[in-house]
Each structure stands twice: as C-alpha cells, then as structure tokens.
Structure 1
Amino acid sequence: MSASSTAGLPAGLLLTYYGDDFTGSTDAMEVMAAAGIPTVLCLEPPTAELLKRFPEARCVGLAGSARGRSPEWMETELPKAFASLKQLGAPVLQYKICSTFDSSPAIGSIGKAIDLGVQTVGGRWVPMVVGAPRLKRYQLFGNLFAAIGGEGFRLDRHPTMSRHPVTPMAEADLRVHLREQSARPITLVDMVRLQAGMGAGHVAAHAADNNKEAPVVLIDVLDDATLLAAGQLVWEGKGSGVFTASSSGLQYALTAYWRQRGWISPQAGLPPAAPASVIAVVSGSCSPVTAAQIEWAARNGFTTERVDLWKILHTETAQAEIERVVELACSSIRQGISPVVYTAMGPDDSAVIGFDTLARDAGRTRADAARLVGTTLAEVMKRLLDRTGLRRVVVAGGDSSGEVVSMLGIAALAVEAAMAPGAPLCRAYSRLPQRDSMEIILKGGQIGDDSFFGKALAGGAFNG
C-alpha cells in the first residue's frame, strides 16, 4: 500500500485485537487484509522478533480461546494478552467477539473481558459494533438478528444459537444479555440516533468523567449506511486510545469509513484461492450449516468418517480410536481422495444431545470433555500432516480450530486468498520447516454454503 493511499491515517499500527476464538480471529484479519491493510494474526503474544517477519503490518491480532473459558481464567490470562497488545501502540484495541455474541456469565463472559480491558487500556467509553451485514448479522434497537438459509431470526429464536450446547442465546437484546455479565453502565446508539447524526452527542453525554465509569455503548448496524456511520463514530471518538469489544463488524465499519474518506483504496481485495490436489478436513462443529457441508462432501467424492466420542472420552480406548481414524484418512489421501473427519452432524445429532451423559459416564466434566474433543481432532490433524505432508487443511468449529492450530506449532497466520466471507485461506508461519507456509482455513460453524469443502479443494472465491 502506498503512503499516499493512507495519508489521512496515523503512521504505524491502526488497530490491534485479541480474538476470543481462532475462527473469529481469522475473520477479523480477512476484513482488514481485503481492505488493503496489511495484517498478521499471531498465535502467541507478539514479540519484536516475530513481528520482524511482517514489517508492513498495520494491524496485529492475537488469537485466543476466551470464548470457551471461565471468568477466573480470564482474570489470569486476559490482562497479559491486553498488555502485550497495548504496548504496540495502536489507537484502537479490540476484544474481538463472535458476531453471534456467544457468551454467558460463566463461559466466555464478554462483560468480564470488557472490565479487564478497560482496566488495562482505559478510555472514556467502550464502543461495541456487533452487526456485520456481510455476515448476515444485524443489530436493530439493541437486538441482534442473524440470517440462515435466506431467513432472518432474532438470536434467541435462531435454530442454532438458541440451542448452542455451551452458550445458548436466551435473550436477543444485547443490553439485557450483557447486564448479566458486568455491572458497567450500558447504553445504545440506536439507528434513529445514528441516522440523525446524534451518535457523537449521545456518547459525549454518557462518556466517563471523574465521577463515571466508562460505559459500554452498543451501536446499531443494519446496512451499509449504518455500518459506515458506526465506523465514523468509533474512529472520530477514539481519543488518545479506546478499548472496544466488537465483532468483525468493527473492521467492516472502520474500513468503510476510511474508504469513504479516501484514506484507503476502493480497489483493494483478495485474490481467489488456487486449487489443491487433495485436502483434509476436521470438524468439531455442531452447526446445521457444517452438517450440510459434510453431507455435501459425502455425496461429492470425499470420504467422511465419524469419531466415536464414547471411545475418545475413555482413556483405555482413545488412542486406538484416533489411530483408526487417522489410518482411514491417510489411506484416502494416498488415493487422492480428500477426507472429512467429524464428531457431530448438527445440533440434533445424538452425540450432541447426549454429550453431557457421555462426559459423565467417562468421569469427566462437560468442559473437560469438550476440550478433549478439540485436542483429539488436533492430534488427528497432526498425525495426518506428519504422515502425508499435506499442504492445505480445513478446520471447522471455533474451539476445534484453536486446539488444532496450537498443536501444530504455528506462530502466525496471514491471509493468502479469498474463500467465503469470514473464512479466508491463510498461510502459516512456523519455526517448524514442515509447517511453514502450509495453507489452512479456519471455518466457523455457521460459515459457508453447502459446497464449502469442495470449493476449499477446487479453489476460487465465493460468497456462501
């Protein structure tokens, strides 16, 4: 990017973010990279040595796992993560959340993360941009909606999120939902105020002074116009530095505003992905979207193999089950056939409905059992790569993605090419020669159309 194309922007880093899961972290990276903002996603706290590999970076992310963690874990880990990002000096530091607001007081508490972030970063307000129309997420009068299969749902009536196995959404009004997680003041710039140009005045009236705590300010986003207005409100209100808890809607909003001001090129974009001869997929997602993708793969030349959860939750049978699945997948790869290894087929799968019973019978807590599913898929992928030298892989599911990438010894990711919105093809950077420059796609459960895995194999860019 030329210096003249960013003349209206400050020098150095523009934004840093901590992603509360790995798929969301690559989603945020994709938006910035597609806008022509060089971005790197670190999988360990960014050091000067690591960042030397990315001298052009204007945005730095740190992928994390807070979405599946307790408030006690957050109190120990998040201040260190936020401090490592703050020292990089960007004017905006984001706690990147899922656009479906996955959280509860006990698991993935966004409210707890906000309280910890404000303690580290400071600032007079905490803007929250959650809506992201490109991802079919919309916030209207404080309520969050998501579309699936061409139909929109309030989030507490969404067929997946209302029944999420860890953080089911029982309330679509984000103010009500968030008040269960933090005592911090919460207010809203709704679309009426936003469209009337009254957002900055509302923020000023509620922002912290000597007698107030920094309030959370939710900002409605329904369409491109409100998205741009939200970006203007955040950027012009950042002051000497601001902490925000937002989805990738923030990245879409900021880049829309920068583009409108002529500070970044309107011509930026990502190249389409090249084809691969064979890929491997592991999936820990319980989403009906991913289930449809696995079914499509089975009908279209992939091999599909289910992991027996009972066996992997019992120590005496776990290794044999992992080895069974790995050998079947390796056999497929040697024949030039792409394997899909999965643990569930949608929210109505018996493995999902009966997961609590499976965990209890194995003498494990639900949280421990869920993490074991992720580490099992990570071990499957590691053995596959070690035995086949495969160079392109896909991981479906946010928690699974974190476990897989952590086990593979990858230090950082950068966007390589476009795939589906929210799931780019990434290139890995690793100190391990066999992992360096491999290609990986981290796909959230709700992302992509039915043929996603086929397109991950064949290449190209698409809008599913």
Structure 2
Amino acid sequence: MNGTREGDAAWPDGLLLAYYGDDFTGSTDAMEAMTAAGVPTVLCLQKPTRELLARFPEVRCVGMAGSSRGRSGAWMDDELPEAFASLATLGAPILQYKVCSTFDSSPEVGSIGRAIDIGVKHMPGGWSPMVVGAPRLMRYQMFGNLFAAADGVGYRLDRHPTMSRHPVTPMSEADLRLHLARQTARRIELIDMIQLRGDDVDARVRALSAADTPVALIDVLDEETLAAAGRLVWKHRGEGIFTASSSGLQYALAAYWRACGPLPAKSSLPLAGPVQAIAAVSGSCSPVTAVQIAWARAHGFHTERLELRRALDPRDGDAEIERVVTAAAQTLTLGISAIVYSAEGPDDPAVTGFDAIASSAGLTRHDAARKIGRALAEVMRRLLDRVDLARVVVAGGDSSGEVASTLGIDALSVVAGLAPGAPLCRAWSAEPRRDGLQIVLKGGQLGEASFFGAVREGRVSGV
C-alpha cells in the first residue's frame, strides 16, 4: 500500500469538511462517522448560518440535511446551487454531496450526476473523487462495481434483494461508471484497488486531473483500501475539491487521520441508557424494517398501520391521522412503546398497489409518497404534543426529512451510538418542547431485527 509521509494528514485551521446530505438518514450517518472518530460535527436542518454555527464553536465538520435523493432534476437545478454555495462559503477544503451507500439514483430522480455537475462549479479542484464503499456498513466497491450485504450475504447491487427492486430507483447496474454515465456526460475515471495499492497512484491522480473536473471512483474493499482512499482525497484536496460520496468518505478520512494524524486510535461513542417507552413512525418499505416492526410487535410494542387510502383522501386524511395518534398515545401513556407504519416490506399490498392507491386519490406516485411522509410527520408532532417522550425514531429517509422539518428542529448532534449509520441524536430547537429531544433517523436497510428494542434500551446493535 502506498505509504504516508510525515505531515500528510496535518489539519488546517477551521473546518475540514462541509457536506450536503441527499436525505436525512444519510446525513446523520455521515455525522456519526465523524463524531465517533473524534471530529466534532453538527448537522444543520436549514442553511448553516454563522449565527447558528456560533452555538457550536468547536465543530470541524458541518452538514446540511437535504431531500434531493427523491427529487427531480429541475428541483436540483433550483435548490442545490444555493445550498452548495452556502456550504462553500464556510471555507472547508472538501465540499461533499453525501449520497446513499447503495447509490440510490436515476437520471430522473435523485440524479447524482446532476448534483456533481452543479457542485463542481463551487470548488476549484481539477478532479472530483468519489468514495462509496463503507465496510462498516457492509458496502464494498471492487473494480468499480458496488456490492452490499444483506442478512450476512453479499450481493452485487443489481442482484440485491432490496435495491434491485427499489420502488423508485431500482438498481439495474452495479458498475457505478455505467450507472453514473446515464446521469452525466462528465468524464468518469476509476482508481481500482490494484492502482490504489501501487506506488504510482499519486501520479494517476495528477494525470487525470484537468479543467473538465472528471469524477474519479476509488475502490474500497477493506480497512486498508479505506485508509488509502482517505489519504488520496486528503493529499490531493488542493485549494478545494467537490466530491459526491457516501459516508465512506467520512470513514476513509477518519481512517487515514487515525493512522497518521491527530485522531485517537479507536473510535467510539457513549451509550445512551434506557427509557421506559419510545414512539416511532416508519415510512420505510425495506424488508429490514419489516423484520424490525415484526420483532417489535412480538416483543410488546404496539404497532398501528396508517391506512394509505384514507390518509391520501382529503376527506378522511386528518381523521386517519387522528385515529393512529389516539391509538398510539393510549399505549404510550401506559409505558408501552408504539410504532405507526405505512408498510411492512416490499411485498406489502400498500407497496405493490401504491400506484393504484395514488391514482385513486388523483395524485402522482411522487406526490402521494410525499403526502404519506407529511402524514407520518404530523403523527409524530401530535404524539409529542400529547405524551411526554424523551426518545423517538423515524424509519425511512424521506419520512425522516418530513418529520424533522415538521418538528421545528434547527440542528442535530450525536449523543450516543446505536446501530452503525443510525446514531442517537440530540435535537437543537428554538421550541422548548423540542429542544433536547433524542431522535434516531434510521435508513431502511440499517439495524438488526431488535433495532427498536435497542433504541428503547439504549444499547448498541449490529447492522
């Protein structure tokens, strides 16, 4: 492996990294990776103003949670330039568009290529590195192809039991060069694991860098290649680079800084401790979340389904929200945890029949999905107004964004570890009833079967 010279990892003054998360769960995943490594990080749920950041004088990494993963190209053209510009003005040498480690995207929805084309204009660098593999999350990139593990089995992403069947952005191509080429005309290069281990990898970066700012995918298979990728990005950051990467970038930089720089040898987060009961809302269609809901039901949680036809009907929508809130609140006041969910896995009729359900409500699939997210957000808001709760969970990236926005949360910071990629966060808000709330934003693929129980008990669980 290419060695590290003295001073390669030296930290400059000020921020090290600023990132825009393409959904809320992924944004907390990136924040967890940095915080656990010993890099103070805050996640803003609005544009990170100087006034807001003044509340966190120690931070070296700033994130901004967004919702672009489920948005159109036109929306990205309207919203991302201002978001990237606001982050670039903070002065960090690396500006990241944080993507999901399963590369959720298509030319029409959540286009990563379009985000890169917008983002590279905000940094002067001659290359745009891309780190997607994250071994801690069981995501691996080999020779440009992305793999992910499910239930202990590794799959090429176009054969993954969930991602190959994703209802919005199904993965039909695991070679990220080919997948990304459908979304941008930009030159796409690869630094594979053989080149990464070679002595001339730095020359490779210098040779590919040019005025057209190509994307350079970097293979990550294990801790060795992870640290090597981090070294390459950090050493060749120049006057500033833009990167579209998963939290693999955070893990890579931390691994490199840990190996030769100012970070402690071992990453860790404190434990949270138990609470009597938690409330959760889930808009996730993932089979992983379905197993977690079933586990919770079998272990004493109250589970309540949000009926989609009624929730989407303008005549019945509020009554349906009130119905599930009343049922959940009644059990919570008895000290019993409650989960309100919209589906249990990809084979749930609410998922397979969603197009017909949306059509019957006179809505497009996209508009119906957002309306369900807003309904779940309203469920959580009403529950918090009626029941004294210290800790809550939101499952699903789009749902997490809707809930966090509805609750009036300004920023999040990590307070404890739970499952990798799904930390326990503290909410910062001008509203006293929300300030200090403990909240977990969980991606659909994350957590073991007993995840909801682990959140209630405040213990660490596996992927």
TM range (shorter): over 0.9
Write out per-residue CA displacement over residues 281-330 of structure 1, whole angstroms, 9 at most, x where no aligned residue: 10000000000000000000100011100111111111110000000000
TM-score, normalised to structure 1, is 0.97
Query: What's the counterpart of residue 286 of structure 1?
Result: 285
TM-superposed deviation, 1:267: 3.7
* Consecutive unaligned residues in structure 1, runs of 5 or more: 1-5
Structure 2 residue corresponding to 1:148, chosen from 135, 147, 150: 150
Query: What's the counterpart of residue 303 of structure 2?
Result: 304
Q: Distance in 2 between matches of 1:201 and 1:371?
A: 47
Query: What's the C-alpha RMSD, in Å, of the aligned pairs?
Result: 1.2
AA of the residue aligned to 2:450:
S
Q: Does 1:353 align with 2:352?
A: yes
AA of the residue aligned to 1:215:
P
TM-superposed deviation, 1:462: 2.7
Structure 1 residue corresponding to 2:135, chosen from 116, 133, 136: 133
For these two proteins, the number of residue pairs brought into alignment is 457
Contact 2:124 2:239 in 1 (8 A): no
Write out per-residue CA displacement over residues 190-218 of structure 1, whole angstroms, 9 at most, x where no aligned residue: 01101113332222111114xxx100000
Q: Distance in 2 between matches of 1:441 and 1:246?
A: 22
Matches within 5 A, 1:180-195: 180-195=182-197
Between stretches 116-125 and 425-434, larger displacement belongs to 116-125
AA of the residue aligned to 2:62:
V
Question: 3-state SS of the aligned residue for 1:23?
Answer: helix
Question: 3-state SS of the aligned residue for 1:95?
Answer: strand
AA of the residue aligned to 1:248:
S
Between stretches 273-282 and 449-458, larger displacement belongs to 273-282
Question: 3-state SS of the aligned residue for 1:424?
Answer: strand
TM-superposed deviation, 1:48: 1.2
Matches within 5 A, 1:5-154: 8-154=10-156
Matches within 5 A, 1:208-357: 208-209=210-211, 213-357=212-356
TM-superposed deviation, 1:168: 0.4
AA of the residue aligned to 1:46:
P
Query: What's the counterpart of residue 424 of structure 1?
Result: 423
Write out per-residue CA displacement over residues 333-378 of structure 1, whole angstroms, 9 at most, x where no aligned residue: 0110000110011011111001011111110011100101100000
Query: What's the counterpart of residue 3 of structure 2?
Result: none
Question: 3-state SS of the aligned residue for 1:214?
Answer: coil
Question: 3-state SS of the aligned residue for 1:34?
Answer: helix
Question: 3-state SS of the aligned residue for 2:394?
Answer: strand
Q: Distance in 1 between matches of 2:398 and 2:336?
A: 26
Question: 3-state SS of the aligned residue for 1:316?
Answer: coil
Q: Distance in 1 between matches of 2:86 and 2:215?
A: 23
Contact 2:377 2:406 in 1 (8 A): yes
TM-superposed deviation, 1:268: 4.0
Q: Distance in 1 between matches of 2:433 and 2:88?
A: 33
AA of the residue aligned to 2:80:
L
Q: Distance in 1 between matches of 2:333 and 2:143?
A: 54
Matches within 5 A, 1:359-378: 359-378=358-377
Query: What's the counterpart of residue 412 of structure 1?
Result: 411
Question: 3-state SS of the aligned residue for 1:315?
Answer: coil
Q: Distance in 1 between matches of 2:122 and 2:223?
A: 32
Q: Distance in 1 between matches of 2:216 and 2:203?
A: 12
Contact 2:410 2:430 in 1 (8 A): yes
Between stretches 258-267 and 72-81, larger displacement belongs to 258-267
AA of the residue aligned to 2:129:
P
TM-superposed deviation, 1:7: 8.8
Query: What's the counterpart of residue 203 of structure 2?
Result: 201
AA of the residue aligned to 1:163:
R
Question: 3-state SS of the aligned residue for 1:373?
Answer: helix
* Consecutive unaligned residues in structure 2, runs of 5 or more: 1-7
TM-superposed deviation, 1:143: 0.4
Question: 3-state SS of the aligned residue for 1:410?
Answer: coil
Q: Distance in 1 between matches of 2:454 and 2:159?
A: 30
Query: What's the counterpart of residue 441 of structure 1?
Result: 440
TM-superposed deviation, 1:52: 1.1
Question: 3-state SS of the aligned residue for 1:455?
Answer: helix
TM-superposed deviation, 1:463: 2.6
Q: Distance in 2 between matches of 1:141 and 1:409?
A: 43
Q: Distance in 2 between matches of 1:90 and 1:303?
A: 45
Contact 2:395 2:443 in 1 (8 A): yes
Contact 2:448 2:461 in 1 (8 A): no
Structure 1 runs, 4 residues or longer, greater than 6 Å off: none
Contact 2:9 2:235 in 1 (8 A): no
Q: Distance in 2 between matches of 1:269 and 1:287?
A: 28
Question: 3-state SS of the aligned residue for 2:423?
Answer: strand
Write out per-residue CA displacement over residues 238-268 of structure 1, whole angstroms, 9 at most, x where no aligned residue: 0010000000000000000001113211144
Contact 2:9 2:256 in 1 (8 A): no
Q: Distance in 1 between matches of 2:146 and 2:394?
A: 27
Contact 2:391 2:438 in 1 (8 A): yes
Q: Distance in 2 between matches of 1:148 and 1:159?
A: 8
Q: Distance in 2 between matches of 1:232 and 1:400?
A: 35
Change (3 A) 1:133 1:373: same
Change (3 A) 1:118 1:262: closer
Q: Distance in 1 between matches of 2:124 and 2:441?
A: 32
Contact 2:158 2:174 in 1 (8 A): yes
Q: Distance in 1 between matches of 2:94 and 2:72?
A: 25
AA of the residue aligned to 2:107:
P
AA of the residue aligned to 2:321:
I
Write out per-residue CA displacement over residues 131-177 of structure 1, whole angstroms, 9 at most, x where no aligned residue: 00000000000000000100000000000000000100000000000
Query: What's the counterpart of residue 3 of structure 1?
Result: none
TM-score, normalised to structure 2, is 0.97
Structure 2 residue corresponding to 1:171, chosen from 170, 173, 187: 173
TM-superposed deviation, 1:122: 3.1
Q: Distance in 2 between matches of 1:280 and 1:154?
A: 35
Q: Distance in 2 between matches of 1:462 and 1:293?
A: 12
Between stretches 260-269 and 291-300, larger displacement belongs to 260-269
Contact 2:9 2:260 in 1 (8 A): no
